[in-house]
């Protein structure tokens, strides 16, 4: 056995080149197989990453706040950006608190640099009255929060706090423009769909006077949502959703008008003229 094996190993193959070629092919095949397994694993991990992205810390409220602060500081500086993002946070938390009071599960706010912040929820409540309460809750809490920089400005006279109070009043006032999906449009759901048309017309005029991509985006989204609701207004579901007691309509209208008046006064009082 030993001798035969030794003799077998000393013999030259019939096709000397074929043995080396087969070895090379085997090595290449093994490498390709390993590469295929690696790509498959990477693909599986990529799919897992895509599924897990919403749960990563990068997409949590605190992380998105930090990203927004870093973006805004390029324009406003660090301290002002921190104050601005905190005012946005409290505005959005007003919506979150009211949604949960209405029995609707709402996400924590997610910040998008230069676009503000958003929350996600399956609905705005059971009817237009609930939607109006949710819509008004953001500007109400946001306005209360703005009283902090306002008070510090009144006490110290520092322009920093005056500017922060101004931007706080302004963003809450702007959100009350009666156009969906802004808060004012949601408040008007309890009154009349005709108000949305008036709000859209006013926003179109504003876009011509103050051209802005954000205004264009709101116009597109608001136009689509207003058209969808306008078409559904006479369906059984639409009539049930907008069936609001007159007392509730009066309360919503009074709250809306008082809030607009107070915020407009706040914007006027804290406006800081800039000289070039």
pLDDT, one tens digit per residue, over 169-181 is 999 999 999 988 8
Distance CA 27, CA 31 (A): 6
Residue 112 within a domain: yes
Q: Establish if 160 belongs to a structural domain.
A: yes
Distances in whole angstroms, Cα of residue 178 to Cα of each of 88, 125, 192 = 19, 19, 11
DSSP 74-96: HHH-HHHHHHHHHHHHHHHHHHH
Number of domains in the chain: 1
Higher pLDDT, 73 or 18: 73
Mean pLDDT of 267-273: 89
Q: Does position 267 have pLDDT exceeding 80, yes or no?
A: yes
Question: 140 and 259 in contact (C-beta within 8 Å)?
Answer: yes
User: Is there a contact between 84 and 76 (Cβ–Cβ < 8 Å)?
Assistant: yes
Check residue 15 and give its pLDDT: 37
H-helix or E-strand spanning residue 191? none
* Within a domain: 205: yes
In a domain, 221, yes or no: yes
Instruction: Specify which of 2-6, 67-71, 107-111, 155-159 reaches the highest per-range mean pLDDT.
Output: 155-159
Tell me the residue range of the domain where 265 lies: 55-270
Which DSSP state fits 107?
P
pLDDT tens per residue, range 127-143: 889 999 999 999 999 99
In a domain, 4, yes or no: no
Supply the pLDDT for residue 1: 41
Q: What is the DSSP string of 108-148?
A: PPEEETTTEEE--BS-S-SSHHHHHHHHHHHHHHHHHHHHH
C-alpha–C-alpha distance, residues 216 and 221, integer Å: 9
The predicted-structure confidence for 62-94, as pLDDT tens digits, reads as follows 888 898 899 999 988 999 999 999 999 999 999
CB atoms within 10 A of CB 92: 24
* Domain assignment of residue 144, yes or no: yes
Is residue 49 in a domain?
no
- In terms of DSSP bridges, do strands 116-118 and 110-112 run parallel, antiparallel, or are they unpaired? antiparallel
Least confident of 39-53, 75-89, 127-141, 147-161: 39-53
User: What does the pLDDT read at residue 161?
Assistant: 96
pLDDT mean across residues, the chain: 79
Residue 42 lies in a domain: no
């Amino acid at each position: 056995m030993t001798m035969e094996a030794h003799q077998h190993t000393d013999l030259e193959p019939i096709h000397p080149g074929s043995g080396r070629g087969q070895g090379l092919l085997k090595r290449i095949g093994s490498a390709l197989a390993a590469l295929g397994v690696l790509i498959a694993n990477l693909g599986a991990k990529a799919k897992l990453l895509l599924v897990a992205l919403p749960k990563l810390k990068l997409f949590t409220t605190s992380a998105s706040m930090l990203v927004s602060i870093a973006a805004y500081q390029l324009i406003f500086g660090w301290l002002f950006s921190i104050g601005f993002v905190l005012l946005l946070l409290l505005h959005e938390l007003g919506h979150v608190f009211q949604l949960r009071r209405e029995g609707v599960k709402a996400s924590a706010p997610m910040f998008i640099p230069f676009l503000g912040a958003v929350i996600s929820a399956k609905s705005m409540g059971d009817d237009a009255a609930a939607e109006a309460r949710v819509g008004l809750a953001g500007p109400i809490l946001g306005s209360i929060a703005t009283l902090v920089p306002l008070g510090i400005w009144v006490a110290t006279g520092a322009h920093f706090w005056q500017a922060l109070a101004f931007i706080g009043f302004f963003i809450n006032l702007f959100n009350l423009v009666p156009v969906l999906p802004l808060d004012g449009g949601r408040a008007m759901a309890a009154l009349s769909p005709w108000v949305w048309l008036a709000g859209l017309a006013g926003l179109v005029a504003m876009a011509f006077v103050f051209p802005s991509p954000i205004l264009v985006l709101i116009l597109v989204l608001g136009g689509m949502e207003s058209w969808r609701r306008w078409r559904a207004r006479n369906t059984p579901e639409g009539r049930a959703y907008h069936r609001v007691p007159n007392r509730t309509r009066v309360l919503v209208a009074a709250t809306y008008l008082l809030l607009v008046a107070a915020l407009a006064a706040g914007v006027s009082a804290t406006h800081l003229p800039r000289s070039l």
